[in-house]
Amino acid sequence: MIELSPLAIAAITLSLQVASVAMIASLPVAIATAWILSRSRWPGLWLLNALVHLPLILPPVVTGYLLLLGFGRNGPVGRLLEPLGITFAFQWTGAALAAAVMGFPLMVRAIRLAIEAVDPKLEEAAATLGAGPVNVFCTITLPLIAPGILAGAIMGFAKAMGEFGATITFVSNIPGRTQTLPSAIYSALQIPGAEQQVVVLCAISVTLAIGAVFLSEWLTRRIARRIGGAL
Amino acid sequence: MIDIRLHHPLSGFDLDVSLQAGPGITALYGPSGSGKTTLVNAVAGLLRPRAGRISAGSDLLFDAATGVDQPPHRRNIGYVFQEPRLFPHLNVRANLNYGAKRAHKAAAGPAFDDVVDMLGIAPLLARPTGALSGGERARVSIGRALLSKPRLLLMDEPLAALDPARRAEILPFLERLRDAGLPVIYVSHALPEVTRLADTIALIDTGKLVAAGPAHHILSDPTLAQRLGGAQAGAVLRVTHGGVDDDGLTRLHLGGQSLFLPQSSPDMGHDLRIRIQASDVILSRNRPEGLSALNILTATVTQVQPGDAGRVFVQLTLPQGQILLARITARSAAILQLRSGTPCHAIVKAVAMDRADLSRS
């Protein structure tokens, strides 16, 4: 059994922390965005759709640089938040922000597919039975899309675990502070004779990713079964 | 009293209807695509009409002029859709309770156990909705709407998707619903269903109200018979059960005259209605002799109205005022010289009536 170096353990712990925070913080926003994209009708919808998908298309280094411009110490948002004690640049919180932004399109897509699978006729029926819009969402829509939300959350988490380009651009690669699992693999690759370390870290990374994809697949299949019993 | 007045453009024509619905079942009858579903959707609040006013008693639900538009969940109107629309993540009991939990505490309405008994769904309560048959789903969806204690129940062809056997299974429940006195707007384009259930019929065609009135009036109006199914048209007679004779025929009293049903039918109560299809009625000027048909009614012609395919609809008034409709060829009508005031005899083949045409009034 290979001993993991303290820095490698720190990287794994940090990655789990960053991915969890990124996933939990962006989930409500992702649900709201998915709902707006699938159920509302207004002229600017395509723009929101494009914006949501942007991190998927842009080179991650560009996304990271844009985050640095916006949320860095001198960026417009960063300057607003600094007096409140919230800083992103070269902090683990910045890594979480980068991971959240990069995973956001995947989350929205999974949740949106789930919402679109819910028959609006069921929501209408609930309304005629006395449920207001919020009530309908909580008692009909939300339970029916729960597997989709879980699937989206897992995809978002997996993406966050693997995020590299935007993270290293935005918060750099400071061991013990902003060095995530992929950054640690990258650093280990630079050191001659650290191949074993690289292989172990890669194995951990692959296991987490494959596990997430399987879990997400299984949950997505449950959604179909659940809504299939509808009318 | 529900007061509906609305105007809404549809593809190809405008829906333009003024209608009132009181206690009992008001059937909206008309061909598919004539605007019936649009009308009930507007009443439920699922569709916002271009213009008009909808009120329930003193409660204004919609008024285009003043901008009043109560959302569906505040209207307290039950809706049984064409598809049952049961919530797939809830079992039967939770589906039934969904509306019940949100009903007004003060509202009058049937108790949970009464509805479950009436619809015969007690054995289904713990089941997931995916495990139900079509007829069971339809009953659960009716129960769910009833338990929300609505002031008005909208039913949009709730039986259209079911086979005749399932339909026959549910019709008695709908009759009990009518007896309970809840105002119901019942959308259908199936004449037998409408004949059996409706107290009032509103005839709609391409968005316009063609006629509205008590069911027995509308069904016996020869000027409407062509729209009301043509060959299937038929008036409804109110009869009383006169017992089952020794040879198994059921005797029905109709003023001083009698009709016989070909099979024994249990006494379902005093007031019954029987539908007699106009094409099953034969007319004779003289009292027929040596004829195998048992049902011969004395009547007077009150109206002769041309129909399609060389047929005419003859409206006959029975001595005690009830109205019968006959569909015969124009040639026969000419030979018999039928006109308003002509006395004649109406022969109804017993086999033409069966138990399905007999229902509680």
Instruction: List, in order, residues 6 or more apart from B307 with CB less than 8 Å away.
Output: B225, B226, B230, B313, B327
Q: At a CB cut-off of 8 Å and minimum separation 6, what does A57 contact? A: none
Q: B168: left (phi > 0), else alpha (psi -120 to 50), else beta?
A: alpha
pLDDT at B352: 55
What is the distance in angstroms between the CA of the first residue and the CA of the last residue of chain B?
A: 21
Give the Cα-Cα-Cα angle B164, B168, B172 (nearest 5 degrees). 160
Q: Which of A23, A15, A9 is nearest to A153 (CA)?
A: A23
Is the pLDDT reported for residue A208 higher than 90? no
Domain extent listing, chain A: 6-228
Confidence of residue A42 (pLDDT cuts 50, 70, 90): confident
Provide the 3-class DSSP secondary structure of residue B308.
coil
Bridge partners (DSSP) listed for residue B185: B26, B154
Q: Which residues of A touch B86 (CB under 8 A)?
A: 230-231
Q: Do the Cβ atoms of A201 and A184 come closer than 8 Å?
A: yes
Cβ atoms < 10 Å from Cβ of B278: 27
| Separation of alpha carbons A29 and A111, rounded Å | 11
pLDDT at A166 over 90: yes
Q: CA torsion, points A176, A163, A64, A107, in degrees to nearest 10?
A: -130
Assign A230 a pLDDT band (cuts: 50, 70, 90).
Answer: very low
Tell me if A127 and B73 make a contact (CB, 8 A cut-off).
yes
Option in B46, B78, B128 nearest A124 (CB): B46
B77–A230 C-beta distance less than 8 A = no
Asked if the Cβ–Cβ distance from A130 to B86 is below 8 Å, we say: no
φ/ψ (deg, to 5) at A161: -65, -30
Q: What pLDDT score was predicted for residue A184?
A: 92
A4 has pLDDT over 90: no
Q: Please, where in chain B does CATH 2.40.50.100 lie? A: 234-360
pLDDT given for residue A50 in this prediction: 92
Q: Name the residue among B164, B175, B356, B332 with its Cα closest to residue B276.
A: B356
B81: closest chain A residue by CA: A125
Euclidean distance between the first and final Cα of chain A, in Å? 55
- Indicate which of B70, B76, B87, B105 best probes the interface with A, i.e. most A CBs within 10 Å of its own CB: B87
User: B129 and A121 in contact by Cβ < 8 A?
Assistant: no
Beta strands B77-80 and B152-156, pairing class: parallel
What is the mean predicted confidence (pLDDT) over A57-78?
A: 91
Fold of A6-228: MetI-like fold (1.10.3720)
The whole-number pLDDT of residue A231 equals 35
C-alpha to C-alpha distance for A98 and A80, rounded to whole angstroms: 18
Cβ–Cβ under 8 Å, residues A108 and A27: no
Q: Which residues of A touch B46 (CB under 8 A)?
A: 124, 127-128
Using the beta-carbon criterion (under 8 Å), do A130 and B128 form an inter-chain contact?
Answer: no
Across the strands, what pairs with B188? Answer: B29
Percentage of the residues of chain A whose pLDDT score is greater than 90 = 57
User: What is the pLDDT at residue B45?
Assistant: 94
| Chain B partners within 8 Å of A125 (Cβ) | 79, 81, 85, 87
Q: Which residues of B touch A (CB under 8 A)?
A: 44-46, 71-73, 75-79, 81, 83-89, 98-99, 102-103, 128-130, 144-145, 148
Interface contact A124-B103, CB threshold 8 A: no
Closest chain A CA to residue B98: A129
pLDDT score of A54 more than 70: yes
Tell me if the domain spanning B2-219 has CATH number 3.40.50.300. Answer: yes
Contact call for A127 and B46, based on CB within 8 A: yes
* Cβ atoms B83, B160 nearer than 8 A: no
A79 touches chain B (CB under 8 A): no
pLDDT at A62 over 70: yes
| Closest Cβ–Cβ partner in A122, A133, A135 for B87 | A122
Cα–Cα distance, B27 to B215 (Å, whole number): 9
- Tell me if B68 sits within 8 A of B45, measured CB to CB: no
Could B87 and A130 be called an inter-chain contact, meaning their C-beta atoms sit closer than 8 Å?
A: no
Contacts of A226 in chain B (CB under 8 A): 88-89
Candidate from B84, B98, B130 with C-beta closest to A126: B98
Residues A46 and A151: their CA atoms lie apart, in Å, by: 24
DSSP code of residue B287: P
In a 3-state reduction of DSSP, which class is residue B13?
Answer: coil
Q: Which residues make Cβ contacts (< 8 Å) with residue B195, sequence separation at least 6?
A: B215, B219, B234, B236, B275
According to CATH, what is the number of the domain B234-360? 2.40.50.100
Instruction: Report, in angstroms and rounded to the nearest whole number, the Rg of chain B calculated over CA atoms.
Output: 22
Alpha-carbon gap: B146 to the closest alpha carbon of chain A (Å): 10
Q: pLDDT 10s per residue in chain B (361 long)?
A: 899 999 999 888 999 999 999 888 999 998 888 889 999 999 999 999 999 999 998 899 999 999 999 999 999 999 999 999 999 989 999 999 998 999 887 777 788 998 898 888 999 999 999 889 888 999 999 999 999 999 999 999 888 877 777 777 778 878 877 777 789 999 988 888 888 888 899 999 889 998 899 988 888 888 888 888 777 788 888 888 888 888 878 888 888 888 888 776 666 666 778 888 888 898 988 888 877 778 888 889 998 888 877 888 999 998 888 888 999 888 888 888 888 888 898 988 765 555 556 666 6
Mean pLDDT of A158-178: 91
- Chain A closest CA to B356's CA: distance in Å? 29
Give CA–CA dist A198/B103, Å, rounded: 63
State whether A231 and B86 contact (CB < 8 Å).
Answer: yes
Q: Where do the CATH 3.40.50.300 domains begin and end in chain B?
A: 2-219
- Two tokens at B140? 């659960």
- State the count of interchain CB pairs (< 8 A) between A and B: 75
Query: How far apart, in whole angstroms, are the C-alpha atoms of residue B77 and residue B5?
Result: 17
Q: Does residue A166 contact residue A60 with C-beta atoms inside 8 Å?
A: yes
Residues in a beta bridge with B257: B254
Query: How high is the pLDDT of residue B292?
Result: 76
Residue B310: burial class (beta carbons within 10 Å; 0-12, 13-18, 19+):
exposed
Joined together, the tokens standing for residue A211 give 């596990």
Q: Do A229 and B73 touch (CB under 8 A)?
A: no
Rounded distance, CA A198 to CA A185, Å? 6
Chain segment A174-207, per-residue pLDDT in tens: 988 899 999 999 999 998 888 888 998 999 999 8
pLDDT score recorded for residue B360: 64
Q: List the 109-148 stretch of A: residues with Cβ below 8 A of B.
A: 119, 121-122, 124-133, 135-136, 139-140, 143-144
> Is pLDDT of A229 > 50?
no
pLDDT at A224 exceeding the cut of 70: no
With beta carbons under 8 A apart, name residues in chain B contacting A114: none
| pLDDT computed for residue B119 by the predictor | 85
Which tokens go with B154? 């909208």
Is residue A149 within 8 A of residue A114, CB to CB? The reply is yes
pLDDT digits (tens, 9 = 90+) for A111-152: 999 999 899 999 999 999 999 999 999 999 999 998 889 889
